[in-house]
Structure 1
Amino acid sequence: MEPFRHSAALSLGVELELQLVNTHDYDLAPYSDEMLRLMKRIPLPGSVVPEMTSSMIEVSTGVCHSSSEVLGQLTQTRDALVKCADKLNIAVVGGGTHPFQQWHEQRIYNRPRFHQLTELYGYLTKQFTIFGQHVHIGCPDADAALLMLHRMSRYIPHFIALSASSPYVQAQDTQFDSARLNSVFAFPMSGRAPFTLSWDEFRNWFRKTTRTGVVKSMKDFYWDIRPKPEYGTIEIRVFDTPLTIERAAALSGFVQALAAWFIHEQPFTPVEDDYMVYTYNRFQACRFGLDAVYVEPSTGEHVPLREHIVSTLRRIDEHAHDVGATAAIDMLALSADLGANDAKWLRETHAREQLLAEMVRQASERFRGAK
């Protein structure tokens, strides 16, 4: 395992996996090579890279220090994506799943690692045509990263419910707000990181795991949150890709404000028993979104998740102000208060239009910033 590199505490990096769709019936379109070719000509912060299948593309920011900086970088990249997509007569869309694509029609992108994964996981790799947002948060050192990871785990349901945007799979309403994560959970190395608060212990655990031959690097873990020693961060991976870059930036602001609270106030010490309710809380958030029930790990108290989100956002308000995330926190608090996430917008749009393709078309307009 690589040494844990230095990064600025509370620095941010955001990755977004995005859908490429045609403008005929708004199904997925295998245009990632063409998009990458056009995007290469435009100087941008961060990077634009292929993903598992050819109808996906991943964009990332550079190292940022606030959610407003994240938004600024994502705006540049979004505008370039839209410009290139228009040239190809396709569209770019957010959302955690494409609502009616058929997994067996997808093409694995021609990259050795993706072909190796296909040999190992079979059809699951094509079913991995799903779209998430990953948020990296800088940590002062390796032990602090593990402490941050396990503290942050209490808020996985909050992240899922606020970002949920994948209610439809293969033309069916799944009754989940985030059905995307069901595809992630199919992988054997998904779930949560082992409970250890010492980087030496974690490194020993990693050595034992690699000796089994089951994994070769940290990339082989599909955990909800994983350490990224090469960046000096932890990476939170449970967010569905939002329909707008504004929401994506706001979610990064929430992560940063939480991390500031953890660092400056040390509000609680995580323990292994916190994970007794972890899977239940995660399921509740995937299934019911902002209408989920949240079990408080320390007390076992059952509370409406949206109430817990709002009270959490109020508690970290001072830290949000310090890191410039007040607008982000206000946006998410209003969303939680109204029970309004992207999954709700998708369902309401489909109920009005009665056509999934039209719902995708309108989602593509939202992504490009149309009012």
Structure 2
Amino acid sequence: MPLDFRQSEALTFGVELELMVLNTRDFNLTRGASDLLNRLEKVEHPGEVKPEITESMIEVNSAVHRNYPELLAELRQTRDAIVTEAGKLNLAIAGGGAHPFHTWSERRIFDTERFQRVSQLYGYLAKQFTVFGQHIHIGVTSGDDAVYLTHHLARYIPHFIALSAASPYYQGEDTHFETSRLHAVSAFPLAGHMPECTTWAEFNRYFDSMAGFGIVSSMKDFYWDIRPKPEYGTVEIRICDTPLTVEEAAQLAAYAQTLSADLLRNRRTDAIAPLYLVYGYNRFQASRFGYQAQIADPLAGERSHVMLRDDVVATITRLEGLAREMNTWEALDTMRNRVRSEVNGAKWLRERFSESKSLSDVVRHQATRWRESSQAAVRA
């Protein structure tokens, strides 16, 4: 049965943020999601806060917005409500892509039909999926635009990896990666990227084939880095670690919105295949080395490599006129300054560890940084 693509207003956007629920003794993950969600049901706050796959996680869904300042204001309000209610339960909340020292086997699956089904299907991978990401939805007016944008945003996946990277520690060890979270995602059999179809009708034929084999029943079964979301009328970027502040989360969304506007305004006609020929290599480079990654540019020909830091700075600089028009330049310029200094969440976390040599202290600082504004948190 064909998937109907629900039309959205072009370039509207929103985010999902997966957050850590922590105890305030040693700042390990704790099974506090149910109690926290019960409290949040009784207070007013924008957006929606939901359970995630294990009981040590919650997910924030923003409303749909047209501009960056509105999204930022909402995320700050939602953060404040969550932090306040968590404090009443002696819990703390933090961003970041993976908890630095929790033990995956201690996690418990949240008791919903879908999460229990995922656990039964994927076994221990479901508990190991206690990692924390930011998803960004960009509205499009048609399924064909969704397919086009999904493919051409693939060129910029390394940007989003490096900009958001905030999970250098995993299971008590420095992984020497900027983001360890993506390994948990890559373990799923339907991870990766969308096949090289070029229209929504062609994608529907692919989906029908996969459904016919009994492999998928909805788009949720695809764990792709970017995927169309037909029921929302969006393209969903799923590659980012949850940043350490809501300000950074809003800036990432502003970058995605501006990039999407540029791609839709200046339609590319390049072949899709080269984008995916180097996709896995570039994804690894960005995950491992962050801004120092050497990525292959599939649109510039063979043997064309560029340092990721320089590529991000050049792209943001190129987008300045459009960003000013869309009221996203403040966000993008702030990001560009961080990139020039090679600052991201992974670097900040390693700096905190170098000060105390304690991962518990690192997570305590993460919770403080999440709780406060970005200006105040930098001094924490």
Pairing 1:303–2:323 present = no
Pairing 1:364–2:371 present = no
Q: Where do 1:125-274 residues align within 5 Å?
A: 125-274=126-275
Provide the residue aligned with 1:58 in structure 2: 59
- Superposed CA offset, 1:12-35 (max 9, x none): 010000001000000001110011
- Superposed CA offset, 1:137-190 (max 9, x none): 001211011111111000000000000000000100000101100010000000
**Any stretches of 5+ residues in structure 1 without a counterpart?**
none
Q: Distance in 2 between matches of 1:270 and 1:257?
A: 22
Find 1:331's aligned residue among 308, 329, 334: 334
Provide the residue aligned with 1:34 in structure 2: 35
Q: Is the 1:150–1:270 contact (alpha carbons within 8 Å) kept by the matching residues of 2? A: no
Structure 1 residues 131 and 165 mapped into 2: Cα distance closer, same or farther (>3 Å)? same
Q: CA deviation at 1:66?
A: 1.4
Secondary structure of 2:360's aligned partner: helix
Secondary structure of 2:194's aligned partner: coil
Q: Where do 1:15-30 residues align within 5 Å?
A: 15-30=16-31
- Superposed CA offset, 1:94-137 (max 9, x none): 00000000000001001111111111100000000000000000
Secondary structure of 1:49's aligned partner: strand
Provide the residue aligned with 1:76 in structure 2: 77
Q: CA deviation at 1:270?
A: 4.5
- Superposed CA offset, 1:250-302 (max 9, x none): 00000011011112222553521221100000000001111111110122311
Secondary structure of 1:321's aligned partner: helix
Secondary structure of 1:285's aligned partner: helix
Secondary structure of 1:57's aligned partner: strand
Pairing 1:322–2:325 present = yes
Q: CA deviation at 1:323?
A: 1.4
Q: Distance in 2 between matches of 1:19 and 1:354?
A: 21
Structure 1 residues 268 and 339 mapped into 2: Cα distance closer, same or farther (>3 Å)? farther
Q: Is the 1:151–1:270 contact (alpha carbons within 8 Å) kept by the matching residues of 2? A: no
Structure 1 residue runs of 4 or more that deviate by more than 3 Å after TM superposition: 267-270
Provide the residue aligned with 2:347 in structure 1: 344
Secondary structure of 1:294's aligned partner: strand
Secondary structure of 1:43's aligned partner: coil
Q: Distance in 2 between matches of 1:7 and 1:44?
A: 25
Q: Is the 1:261–1:267 contact (alpha carbons within 8 Å) kept by the matching residues of 2? A: no
Q: Distance in 1 between matches of 2:3 and 2:369?
A: 40
The root-mean-square deviation of aligned C-alpha atoms, in Å, is: 1.0
Secondary structure of 2:45's aligned partner: coil
Q: Is the 1:20–1:90 contact (alpha carbons within 8 Å) kept by the matching residues of 2? A: yes
Which letter does structure 2 place at the counterpart of 1:229?
Answer: P
Structure 1 residues 9 and 358 mapped into 2: Cα distance closer, same or farther (>3 Å)? same
**Any stretches of 5+ residues in structure 2 without a counterpart?**
none
Q: Taking structure 2 as the reference length, what is the TM-score of the superposition?
A: 0.96
Which letter does structure 1 place at the counterpart of 2:164?
Answer: S
Q: Distance in 2 between matches of 1:306 and 1:195?
A: 28
Q: Is the 1:151–1:269 contact (alpha carbons within 8 Å) kept by the matching residues of 2? A: no
Q: Distance in 2 between matches of 1:349 and 1:163?
A: 17
Which letter does structure 2 place at the counterpart of 1:269?
Answer: D
Q: Is the 2:285–2:295 contact (alpha carbons within 8 Å) kept by the matching residues of 1? A: yes
Secondary structure of 1:59's aligned partner: strand
Secondary structure of 2:85's aligned partner: helix
Which letter does structure 1 place at the counterpart of 2:309?
Answer: R
Q: Is the 1:290–1:341 contact (alpha carbons within 8 Å) kept by the matching residues of 2? A: no
Percent same amino acid at aligned positions? 47
Of stretches 288-297 and 13-22 in structure 1, the one that deviates more from structure 2 is 288-297
Q: Distance in 2 between matches of 1:79 and 1:32?
A: 16
Q: Is the 1:147–1:270 contact (alpha carbons within 8 Å) kept by the matching residues of 2? A: no
Of stretches 144-153 and 258-267 in structure 1, the one that deviates more from structure 2 is 258-267
Q: CA deviation at 1:42?
A: 2.0
Q: Is the 1:195–1:272 contact (alpha carbons within 8 Å) kept by the matching residues of 2? A: yes
Q: Distance in 2 between matches of 1:136 and 1:266?
A: 20
Q: Distance in 2 between matches of 1:265 and 1:214?
A: 36
Secondary structure of 1:333's aligned partner: helix
Q: Taking structure 1 as the reference length, what is the TM-score of the superposition?
A: 0.98
Q: Distance in 1 between matches of 2:270 and 2:68?
A: 27
Q: Distance in 1 between matches of 2:141 and 2:321?
A: 21
Which letter does structure 2 place at the counterpart of 1:203?
Answer: N
